[in-house]
Structure 1
Amino acid sequence: MSYPMPEAPLGVALIGTGFMGKCHAMAWRNVATVFGGAHPRLEVLADATPESAARHAAQFGFARSSTDWQAAVADAAVDVVSITTPNGMHRPMAEAALKAGKHVWLEKPMALTLGDATAMAALAAGHPGQVTILGYNYTRSPAYQAARALIGEGALGAPLAFRGVYDEDYSADPLIPWSWRLTHAGGGLGALGDLGCHLVAQMLGLMGPVAEVTAMTQIAVPERPSPEGPKPVENEDSALALIRFASGAQGSFATSRVARGRKCRLQWEVHCTGGTLVFDQENMNELWVHRAGEAGFTRHLSGPEQPDFAAFCPAPGHNFGFNEQKVIEARDLCAAIAGGPAAAPGFAAGLEIERIIHAMAASQGKSIAIGGGHD
């Protein structure tokens, strides 16, 4: 596929300097080096304190720093806004950027509530000339793209079932302090909003729309220590779901932030009428494929024959990584701004992901139908 890139530099504002803020900064600094086009202008970085903003602007290569995110969003030199702040700020910042005429690159989850996500998608639909994209970087893995291509080409027959897991253990220790991430007002959903939404994004790409879910959630650690004493955990530590896809295929889904020993176990398999696909993000350069009639699975190692790998390295076996996925995400945004393929997932497709994870959170053993479509 051909991806046009902007011939004139895009002016960038970055809001937030944590883990994903740094990922966005690295992606902006590398996207033209890898994919061509004009190098973006890193105009302004906004953070909570003057000291942090100035320090990170110098480190990340931004021309200016600020503690006023509203001013950064409205800045005339800015064309696109990267938002990597805590979840509760996603809606006001994204909406302000759209109203200011900017393109928006927003980290997942899209919003705290389904109502917020619905309003954001509606606003984006009213600004068709502005590109929105959400930070579902795992869908940029060359191995995942190869799996999608095999399914799309019908190489393994029709998909029958999906089994997916995304587990980490960053909250497994009950002595880990309480934080805003554990509240509905600050974090929104728990494991579903932080981890499960990534699995849903991949699942939709492999299996198509979801028709119905039946799920249950669990709070494994009801209270966490804080300087003021124990505070309650409001959102889920883990979730399990059964899924019926619009195609008639079935699926199972599990996610946990308290799975001891698991670091980034984003793992799935797809059973098809003519074979099976298996992937694990902790071994993200491998796709295992079984075809009917073969004795077992064949290991396919990511290489330049797979989408986007060659832009980084011409040699197979030189492994692809997490931050490279983010550079591809930046490329997709830039290409859409330049008139190329639509960036995905935009806010409309992000709303579909939100519908699914919020239905899982609300289900508690009841079957819930999923409405809506995706871009």
Structure 2
Amino acid sequence: MTKPRLRIGLIGTGFMGKAHVFGFTSAPRVFDLPYELELRTVADITPQAADEAARRLGFARGTARWQDLVEDPDIDVISVTAPNALHKEMSLAAIRAGKHVYCEKPLAPLAQDALEMSDAAEAAGVRTQVGFNYLCNPMLGLAREMIAAGELGEIRGYRGIHCEDYMADASGAFTFRHDPAGGGALADIGSHALATAEYLCGPIASVMGDCVTVIQERPDGKGATRKVEVDDIGRAFLRFESGATGSIEGNWIATGRKMQHDFEVYGTKGALAFSQEHFNVLNFFNTDDARGRQGFRRIEAGPDHAPYGLFCVAPGHQLGFNDLKAIEVAGYVNAIAGKSPEPFNFRKGLRIQTLVETIQASSREKHWLDVT
């Protein structure tokens, strides 16, 4: 029986644009999806760049006008991987045209914009997804399952961190990420730490933030410099609704770190430790182990941790970053078909932006703030 087609339009062909394409092309080969996925049109900054991207990435055509995707009745889903400040305009235009929207994080630079986007999507009845694919890791799913089942007992403490060094060089150019409309380290990568914290430990009730701009100015590419007003490091102490406490950090000047998305969870009966740098492993400490035999034990990802087995029948062979994107795409496509809830929709993206802004406000005001 022939499946209906879900036709994809992609805006942007940088790092995350390519990751979206890997997800769209891999997911149908791994999962039994309700649609055939068709790469219809890709938009880039010039006609030449768009045509080259279409050829290279497997789209039927390219265009220099992202509006062409919105206006095309033959496109069902629009992926937005453009700079952060453009997410709102592009997503709202797609929603008005009745398209489903898959937008990379952060959903929008301001929570009020994210709220407008969420309300519009829900009113239009379209399905949305925000790119938080680290949450698709089977090892994070296992950690959440263990916490919910009480294997760690009462959760007392949490530590989360997302550190990279792609902004560590002070001579590096001013980019869209340094623009106040682009966000800063807390919004750009600290958002992942916040999403993981709530995924594992539930809602955060209050925060105490500290956002620091270390590199005060950067070259603008025109022989001058521009003042940097966003944070290079964003930290926060957390109080969860459950009574647990913890902390998170987002840091894009962490020299030597390429992908440190780590967490530790401490309970009365056990603890978990995880590092994205070895993200096919979850480490578990159990207080029931005999004295003299205690220690963190290594749990290797394998077919017992769905959906790992759909990618590989052998344990320990490991998933990769783009496999997580395929898992994210599969969940989203099933939601579009009405087979499951949206995994991480615009409303959830709004929640993360609300947390970011509350931490930023706490840093400015220098006291604890409740998350509303």
The residue that corresponds to 2:29 in the other structure is 33
Paired residue secondary structure (1:268): strand
Equivalents in 2 of 1:268, 1:242: separation in Å? 14
Q: Is the 8 A contact 1:142 1:302 kept in 2?
A: yes
The residue that corresponds to 2:153 in the other structure is 157
Equivalents in 2 of 1:285, 1:142: separation in Å? 8
Equivalents in 2 of 1:19, 1:248: separation in Å? 38
Q: Is the 8 A contact 1:219 1:238 kept in 2?
A: yes
- Equivalent of 1:167 in 163, 166, 172: 163
CA deviation after TM superposition for structure 1 residue 119, in Å: 1.0
Equivalents in 2 of 1:330, 1:102: separation in Å? 16
The residue that corresponds to 1:198 in the other structure is 192
Equivalents in 2 of 1:324, 1:228: separation in Å? 41
Residues 128-152 of structure 1 show CA distances to partners (whole Å, capped at 9, x for unaligned) of 3x11010001001111111011112
Equivalents in 2 of 1:110, 1:308: separation in Å? 26
Equivalents in 2 of 1:123, 1:22: separation in Å? 27
The residue that corresponds to 1:3 in the other structure is none
Q: Is the 8 A contact 1:166 1:254 kept in 2?
A: yes
Amino acid of the structure 2 residue aligned with 1:366: H
Equivalents in 1 of 2:303, 2:96: separation in Å? 40
Residues 278-334 of structure 1 show CA distances to partners (whole Å, capped at 9, x for unaligned) of 100001011000111331111001011102101111110111110000001110111
Map of 1:48-63 to 2, 5 A cutoff? 48-63=45-60
Residues 63-112 of structure 1 show CA distances to partners (whole Å, capped at 9, x for unaligned) of 01111111212211111111100001100111111111111110000001
Equivalents in 2 of 1:349, 1:225: separation in Å? 35
The residue that corresponds to 2:330 in the other structure is 331
CA deviation after TM superposition for structure 1 residue 213, in Å: 0.3
Equivalents in 1 of 2:177, 2:308: separation in Å? 34
The residue that corresponds to 2:116 in the other structure is 119
Paired residue secondary structure (2:302): coil
Give the gaps of 5 or more residues in structure 1. 1-5
CA deviation after TM superposition for structure 1 residue 181, in Å: 1.5
Equivalents in 2 of 1:168, 1:29: separation in Å? 28
Map of 1:1-375 to 2, 5 A cutoff? 7-37=3-33, 38-128=35-125, 130-185=126-181, 187=182, 189-226=183-220, 227-294=222-289, 295-364=294-363, 365-371=366-372
Amino acid of the structure 2 residue aligned with 1:324: D
Equivalents in 1 of 2:48, 2:68: separation in Å? 18
Instruction: Please identify, of 338-347 and 51-60, the stretch whose mean Cα deviation from structure 2 is larger.
Output: 338-347
Paired residue secondary structure (1:133): strand
RMSD: 1.2
Q: Is the 8 A contact 1:243 1:251 kept in 2?
A: yes
Q: Is the 8 A contact 1:10 1:79 kept in 2?
A: yes
Equivalents in 2 of 1:52, 1:154: separation in Å? 52
Residues 230-269 of structure 1 show CA distances to partners (whole Å, capped at 9, x for unaligned) of 2111100001211111111101111211111111111110
| TM-score, with structure 2 as normaliser | 0.95
Q: Is the 8 A contact 1:146 1:307 kept in 2?
A: no
| TM-score, with structure 1 as normaliser | 0.95
Q: Is the 8 A contact 1:162 1:271 kept in 2?
A: yes
Residues 179-200 of structure 1 show CA distances to partners (whole Å, capped at 9, x for unaligned) of 2221113x1x211111100111
| Shift >3 Å, 4+ stretches | none
Give the gaps of 5 or more residues in structure 2. none
CA deviation after TM superposition for structure 1 residue 177, in Å: 1.4
Equivalents in 1 of 2:264, 2:131: separation in Å? 23
Identity of aligned residues (%): 38
Q: Is the 8 A contact 2:186 2:235 kept in 1?
A: no
Q: Is the 8 A contact 2:210 2:360 kept in 1?
A: yes
Equivalents in 1 of 2:201, 2:145: separation in Å? 12
Amino acid of the structure 2 residue aligned with 1:9: R
Amino acid of the structure 2 residue aligned with 1:219: T
Aligned residues: 363
Amino acid of the structure 1 residue aligned with 2:219: P
